[in-house]
Amino acid sequence: MKYLKNIMETIKKVFLNTSIRSKMLIIFMVFMLFYVIISAVIYVNIIKTETLSQVRQRSHETTELIRTNINTLIDNANNVSKMMTTSSLIRAYLASDNPSRSLTKSANEVMFNIHITFPNIDSIYLYDLYGSVLRTNKNLTVSSVEDVKAAPWFDELVKLNGGYKIAINAENTLKTYSGKNLVSVMRILNDLDSLKPIGVLVLNISQDSLSEVINETGENGGSSFIILDANNNPVIKNDAAYEMYNPYLVKTSDYEDIISIDSKRLLVFKSVMPNTGWKIISCTSLSSKSPVIQTLNLLYVFFIGITIFLFIVASLFTANFITSPIKKLINSMQGVANGVFKRVSYNTGNDEIGELKNNYNLMIMEINNLIIKLINEEKKKRKFELDVLNEQIKPHFLYNTLDNIAYLALSGNNQTVYEAVNALGSFCRISLSKGSEVISLENEVRQIQNYLLLQKLRYGEMISDEYNISPDTNQIRILKNILQPLVENSIYHGIRPSGEPGYIKTSAHINEGYLILSVEDNGVGMDEQEINSISDENLAGNQASFGLRGTIQRLKIHYGTDEIYMVESSKYSGTKITLKIPLEEGKND
């Protein structure tokens, strides 16, 4: 480790002592290499994204086409079965418990004609309810059903009442000697008069027909396709693609996923056929490149070559004018624009750049000292503003309170005067708080209770008050004398102008890191113009709301935020003023 450190120190020393031209060339080469690597990474990611987009689109389109073709194939078989159900000979054969030879032959001819007319149909089975069956086969097929009423699918077909059911090998009741699967379209046949079952028709489509549909549809898509039934069994038996991808199919989502097999990335897309519950799964390689992408690769290589050439030319041209130490110094100076005044600490050597660095560091030190001085002066200024605003509010309250006490003294009610003076004394003790700017919310609420006691002595039962103070807020420290001006505002601008008794409700709770205080009354309220007069834009010039204006200004300066209050009111429906105080200020005792 020490040896490596020595090597790095030696390289650094050599670099610092080389010529400016050499320094610039080295740095340009490093930047060029970095640029090439980053651009290559970005380009490869873009190509991967574009390839995935193209493969996804092609895979979805091809899968949808295969699904449409398979549905068409099944629908054709279903239409053929409907044709057979309308044949009078077929129905006559099924209705007879002992059909004649000629009737059996006629029914066989109908089945045979349909069989040769529709090449996709591999075999047809016609079961009556008396234990007999007629069949036509292109390839040898054996049925294990002796009594159709005992077949595992008979009751389900009866419930379908003429509807058809799709199953592989008629739910394993059919077996082909070729070992290939059959797609069975099965339906019950009912008597036209009684509408009771008289037989079962099973039309079988060879898996070769499905394979042909898949091969024709997907031959130009570069994808392999797997078809699974509702039980996740392969519809096309002995499908090599199924054997290859089967271990990974469980990893696919209901929509699509990307898997890796033998270091090859594949997009696996699963599409469900609603009518049958079958799943069409396509596996498409993400490694193949389209002609467009191959062209883009050539253009990218050409572009990188041109870029490298320009880098070299630019480095040779610029090396005569710009030096690496100057560039580093500029980068350091750029921090000043963002308010970061940091000294330069890297080693520049004993040249003119080193002297410039030292002078720059001296300038930074002076700026930092100046900033500290300005910050201290600003703190003093804010403290002075708080003191001035606080002093502005005290006389405003005392004038109104002394008016009340004078009124009581003139009325000659000594006991009431005593209560008023006692409440005023309690108010002053809490208000002074030994010079502290903040008090607990519990004392702030006690303040407005003393204040309202004085106001009730004057206005009697015209004013009632209630409190909804959450217990966990009592000891939170807040700026003092912020609720009393709001309560006073409710009396003089809300309840008193109404000429009727009113209430004042004070609430406090915590919400998302803020102490929420509100003072609400049911006075005359305010219209939109009056609310606008005490908004942030107009509050400073509203001489009628001196107490509210001073309180809001104190809060904004103390807590350092403009979003400190909200007014809710409508004409003749009362007013609610809400304060939103950050808890970081409020929790320090």
Per-residue pLDDT of the chain (589 residues; tens, 9 = 90+): 777 888 878 877 777 777 666 767 777 778 888 888 888 888 888 888 888 888 888 888 888 888 888 888 888 888 888 888 888 888 888 888 888 889 889 988 888 888 888 888 888 999 999 888 998 888 888 888 888 998 999 999 999 888 888 988 888 899 888 888 899 999 999 887 788 899 999 999 988 888 888 877 765 556 788 888 877 788 887 666 777 777 666 655 566 778 777 777 888 888 888 877 888 888 887 776 667 777 888 888 888 888 888 878 777 766 665 555 666 666 666 666 666 667 766 666 666 667 777 777 788 788 788 878 877 766 665 665 555 445 544 565 567 667 767 776 777 767 777 777 887 777 777 766 666 778 899 988 988 888 888 778 777 788 999 999 999 999 999 888 889 889 988 888 889 888 889 999 999 999 988 999 999 999 898 888 888 877 665 555 554 454 677 778 778 877 878 888 888 988 888 899 999 999 864 444 4
175's CB contacts (< 8 A; 6+ apart) are 141, 142, 144, 169
- Containing H/E element for 197? strand 197-206
Six-digit token pair at 531? 């609310």
Q: Radius of gyration over alpha carbons of the chain, in Å?
A: 46
Domains of the chain, each with CATH number or no CATH? 1-322 (3.30.450.20), 377-586 (3.30.565.10)
Round to whole Å and give the CA distance between 411 and 467.
31
Retrieve residue 248's tokens: 């990974």
Residue 77 burial by Cβ neighbours in a 10 Å radius (0-12, 13-18, 19+): buried
Q: Is the pTM value of this prediction over 0.85? A: no
Single-letter amino acid code for the residue at 79:
N
Nearest CA to 378 out of 536, 549, 560, 581 is that of 560
Q: For residue 550, is it left (φ>0), alpha (ψ between -120 and 50) or beta?
A: alpha
Q: How many CA atoms lie within 13 A of 435 on its CB side?
A: 1
- Quickly tell me which residue has 């990335």 as its tokens: 265
Q: What Cα–Cα distance (Å) separates residue 404 from each residue in 118, 399, 457, 486?
A: 108, 9, 8, 18
CA distance 568 to 251: 57
Q: Which of 35, 70, 362, 350 lies closest to 216, judged by CA? A: 70
Q: Give yes or no for a contact between 405 and 417, defined as CB atoms under 8 angstroms apart.
A: yes
Measured between alpha carbons, how far is 564 from 582 in angstroms, rounded to an integer? 9
* Residue 562 DSSP SS3: coil
356/325 Cα distance (integer angstroms): 10
In single-letter form, the type of residue at position 360 comes to Y
